[in-house]
Chain A
Amino acid sequence: MWADGLPNLLIGLREGLEAGLVVSILLAAVRRFATGGDRSDRSASTAPIWYGVAAAIVLALSFGAVLTFYRSVLPTTGQEALGGALSVVAVILVTGMIFWMRRTARSLAGELREKVAEAMKVSTAALALTAFLAVGREGVETALFLWTAAQASGQTVAPLIGAAIGIAIAVLLCVLLYKGAAKIRLDLFFNRTAILLIVIAAGVLAYGLGDLQDAGWLPGHSWVAFDLSQHIDASSWWASIITGVTELSPIMTWLQVAFYLGYLAIVLTLFIREGRRQHTPVGTVAEPKSEPAREKLATPGRNRAIVAGAFVLPPLIAAALIGFAPGSQATAQQIMVTGSSCAPGWSSAQGGNQNFTVVNKSGHTAEVNLIQTASQGIVAEIETLGPATSQTMSATLADGAYTWRCLIDGMPTTFSTQVQVNGGGTSDASSAPPPVKPITADELQPAADAYDRYVQPKLVTLAGQVNQIKTDLAAGNIPAAQADWLQAQLTWEQVGAAYDSFGDLGDAIDGLPQALPQGVGDPGFTGLHRIEYGLWHGQGAAELTPIADQLSSDITTLQGKLPQLTVDPTDMPLRAHEILEDALRDHLSGMTDEGAGAAYAETYADVQGTQVVLGMLRDQIDTRRPGLLATVDAQLNTLSQALLATQANGQWQSLSATPLAAREKVDGTIGALLENLSIIPDILEVPAH
């Protein structure tokens, strides 16, 4: 948990330094002016800066509140454009401030106190604005960082404490700078801090331009000068301090580099030249400060209104945004899952196609359903929503009442309040897909039991048919053995829904040679397809009888184990389409043919197997998707007819011997049928949690 705090500590440190350095220098400078280098009076003159700082903090807090409570997602481009524009304005102000200080310092030297006071008065607003911008843009950014971090970690305490510690360290560093600055002679102070300010401002300019490029307001986002992000861990403590002080990032575009260097070259040159032109040691002047200067530095009434506005407006705007957001057609509504509540604050919804962003702050994996009250059916679901993640989810809502349901393992299921949707009859609302009534494993158990009862006698039949093959082999009657092999193979196909339940025994009975190291000659190639291979490749009793004996014994073993090998009830709906998916994949592709050319015969048996499974699920399917069974039954009949139509003289033909039109009919029909069968696992899906 505390690991979440460290990155935020560094964020706080970096952002705090970024904002604090400018403010500290401003404070120190104004203090020195107001006192003319004499530290005896520390009362009123820095007030505008503090107003600016305070207003910026209010702005940042308001922004944080909007992020936390607003239901919509803030577009990152908007945040970048705002931050970038504020940065550029801040640079212009700071630059003006540097030269203003330089000139004012000269005035001081000339002992023209009135002029100083005049200048200070004019710049009261500028001072406040500069402080506001310096702190405001970092504050907004810090709020966003913290919000994102809290969102990602699913908790709020550790990130906030981490950030607070970071900001405290930054403030401490700034205080030290301020104290240090206060002890230096004013001319030295100017030379040092002004140059520091120019370097910082150059970084802010580059950074702001980068933001504007990211936002798409300026071109050149992808024209990168250098990218050290692979070599530098931007979240390390030292990288945080360097970026905090210089505002430079590991990736910079050419525009950023050019303006950074250009700004430094031009402003430093001008600054130094101005200093040379009329350099006077100002720090030595120690005049007592005059009353009018202080009076004029105090915030006059008109400015007081502006300051009051700066304090009051952001919270008001934030409150308005939060308060009126739900009514303003947010594109993606945010749904929250916490350990104790499900979608708290969900109070209204529109009809038609809706997008939700579901955020899991429960600290556990959750399943989230949106349920239509009338049908108790699920309209939309996220089956697995990891802790501290969010996912989008879309749902088409018809008119009616809806409730969110949150399922978390080992915790009680929670529900949201019920919300009435009135779509106003929009077209997509009327075409909303039917909700799905959830099903439990218990409800599917009877079908699984019925299937187990169905398999038992089939295996008895199979054992008898294998014995018949052995009799044929002993008599040397290969054609009879081939005919009996087909019957045995088809019996096995009909228990297809149980394949997976049989494990290794299933492979022993019906395995294929493709994956075996020695192919058809592999000793592990046993069972029905091995016999098929032998019967159609000139092998006789000598080779095949031992294999048939092995097959008999495997079937006997399977019969003995059958009571333990029960069908998983949640698998039954899957089998409804998988038996024929397997037929398409394995039989109709010719992959399972070891010589008999029985693909169509086997597929025909698979149709029968599918019909058996569907018969056991009929009621469950019918209550959830009326009409589906009728369609599927008709398509199964069409497929049976198409398969029988491949026969010649009542005999099954191989794939290659079948005319193209007949093949296409089978392939087309089974494809159309599978599209409909694939709905069954979805409407009979047992929830995972």
Chain B
Amino acid sequence: MDINRRNVLKGVAAGVVGTAVTGGLLAAGAKADADAAAPAASSGPASVPFHGEHQAGITTPQQRYSTHAAFDVTASNKADLLALFKTITARARALTGGGAAPDLGVGSPPSDSDVLGPDIPADGLTVTLAVGSSLFDDRFGLAAKKPKNLTPMKSFPNDALQPALCHGDLMLQLCANSPDTIHHALRDIAKHTRGGMQARYRQDGFVSQPRPSGTPRNLLGFKDGISQPPPSEDDEILWVQPNSGEPTWAVGGSYQVTRFIRMLVEFWDRVSINEQQNMFGRRRDTGAPLDGQNEFDAPDFAKDPKGDVIPLDSHIRLANPRTPATEKNRILRRGYNYDNGFDENGNISAGLVFTCFQQDVKRQFEVTQTRLIDEPLVDYIQPFGGGYFFVLPGVRNSTDYFGNGLLT
């Protein structure tokens, strides 16, 4: 057979070019499709399992949007309280799983608001239910079952707590990939629990995108939440353990502290960069500790005993001195930024929904916060609401419910 080498080479070249061009077009097209679809499918998991030993919304990846809604129980007896907890369980299970709303026929208003359309997406929703110390008053006879260190939130020096925005019998933390999912879930749970619990206060929040990368920033412009206890230490840091002096029902639960902290951003923006960085102990641009290069470098306080590099009263040094003695004080933070418009003076009313979880609120949050009293940052922040709560243990399966063990 007469094979012309040049023609073969030409053919091969044409084939390669053609394949490359076609492949490139298809790949670019696929990327364009993915980009076009991106706004609908926001980042974050499609759904987070509801059942488990612990509740979701604590160690599960943090979603972009949140609401923290406190409720007071209006149910008048323990049986009604149990019914309320079972209703919340059922709604949380349905909402976090997604799917079409039930058909109530023509003899009722529709069962769902259709805010998320007829086929309700889970959209990464987590529903995390916690109880406040007031639930253990004389109304339901639960005093004996109160987690041992659950009290109303302490007012620290420099706090400006507003009673109407503090405490509450229940704390519902809803987190999801989009704000309308949270609105829908809150509206649905409120509709199904009317008469059993009454809204007390609420704060919506959001997590900023990583700018440009790494840990998202708070509204003071600093990366916030860089250093967290590793998952391997959850049993020492996070979850209530058996035989720890806590009631049996509380095992697998966790103490939650939620504090609404106003950031006086106009004042802050008039502060020099050096002063800002010394207050935090980190660089504002990279998030690196002042003695390090990169965001995740660990500060070495031992090498800097006089605070020449990282001031002794800087936020990161007081919050976590990184000594063997203070290891047990660490907390798992899961905060959200908030932006509530303007205050009466025309200043931006924004800040942080500080939320942390821990095994023991006294040993961990209170000790940490006590160290932080009078840190230089207090001039620029104002805690005004929130409370201490106890996150119930997880709902383990389809027959389990919130409050199992507490109410039965």
Contacts and interface: CB of A to CB of B under 8 A. Distances in A.
Nearest to B190: A671
B29 A253 contact: yes
Looking at chain B, what size class is its interface with the partner chain? 20 to 34
B74 interface: yes
Contact of A671 (B103, B106, B164, B195): B195
B32 A223 contact: yes
Interface stretch (A37-45, A148-156, A677-685): A677-685
A258 B106 contact: no
A434 B26 contact: no
Nearest to B35: A222
Contacts of B25: 220, 254-255, 258
A683 B32 contact: no
Indicate the member of B29, B106, B108, B109 with the most A CB atoms within 10 Å. B106
Contact of B107 (A220, A624, A668, A672): A624
Interface string B65-99: 00000001010000000000000000000000000
Nearest to A370: B106
Contacts of B31: 223
B1 interface: no
B191 A675 contact: yes
B166 to A, nearest CB: 12
B28 A223 contact: yes
A71 B357 CA distance: 56
Interface stretch (A135-143, A375-383, A461-469): A375-383
A218 interface: yes
Interface string A485-499: 000000000000000
Interface string B165-205: 00000000000000000000000000100111110100000
A396 interface: yes
A624 B196 CA distance: 27
Interface in B194-231: 194-198, 200
Nearest to B24: A258
A665 interface: yes
Given A435-B105, A625-B107, A682-B107, A668 B197 contact: yes
B233 interface: no
Contacts of A379: 105-106
A667 interface: yes
A221 interface: yes
A232 interface: no
Interface in B366-408: none
B26 A255 contact: yes
A638 to B, nearest CB: 8
Interface string A197-241: 000000000000000010000111111000000000000000000
Interface in B94-153: 103-109
Contacts of A673: 195
A665 B104 CA distance: 28
Interface residues of A, number: 44
Interface string B28-41: 11111101110000
Contacts of B105: 379-380, 395-396, 432-436
A218 B26 contact: yes
B202 to A, nearest CB: 14
B21 interface: yes
A668 B194 contact: yes
A417 B197 CA distance: 49
A378 B29 contact: no
A222 B36 contact: yes
Contact of B30 (A220, A635, A668): A220
B106 A223 contact: no
Interface in A430-449: 432-436
A214 to B, nearest CB: 11
A433 B26 contact: no
B106 A220 contact: no
Given A434-B107, A625-B107, A679-B107, A665 B32 contact: no
A660 B164 CA distance: 9
A688 interface: no
B74 A219 contact: no
A646 B108 CA distance: 32
Contacts of B33: 219-223
Given A220-B26, A220-B33, A255-B26, A668 B198 contact: yes
A71 B317 CA distance: 71
A354 to B, nearest CB: 10
A678 B107 contact: no
B103 A682 contact: no
A384 interface: no
A661 interface: yes
Indicate the member of A213, A223, A625 with the most B CB atoms within 10 Å. A223
B74 A378 contact: no
B107 A219 contact: no
Interface in A640-689: 660-661, 664-665, 667-669, 671-675, 678-679, 682-683
Contacts of B74: 664-665, 668-669
A661 B29 contact: no
Contacts of B104: 433
Nearest to A661: B72
Contact of B109 (A353, A672, A682): A682
A218 B22 CA distance: 11
Contacts of A682: 106-109
B79 to A, nearest CB: 15
Contact of A679 (B26, B109, B164): B109
A394 interface: yes
A605 B25 CA distance: 72
Contacts of B37: 222
A673 B105 CA distance: 20
Contact of B106 (A381, A672, A675): A381
Nearest to A383: B106
Given A380-B105, A679-B108, A668 B195 contact: yes
B87 to A, nearest CB: 11
A635 B25 CA distance: 66
Contacts of B29: 213, 218-221, 223, 253-255
Closest 10 CB pairs of A and B: A220-B29, A672-B195, A433-B105, A223-B32, A219-B30, A668-B74, A671-B194, A222-B36, A664-B198, A672-B194
13 contacts: A220-B28, A254-B29, A378-B106, A380-B105, A381-B106, A433-B107, A433-B108, A436-B107, A625-B107, A668-B196, A668-B197, A669-B74, A671-B198
Given A395-B105, A669-B195, 12 more contacts: A218-B26, A219-B27, A221-B33, A223-B28, A254-B29, A255-B26, A258-B25, A381-B106, A664-B72, A671-B198, A673-B195, A683-B107
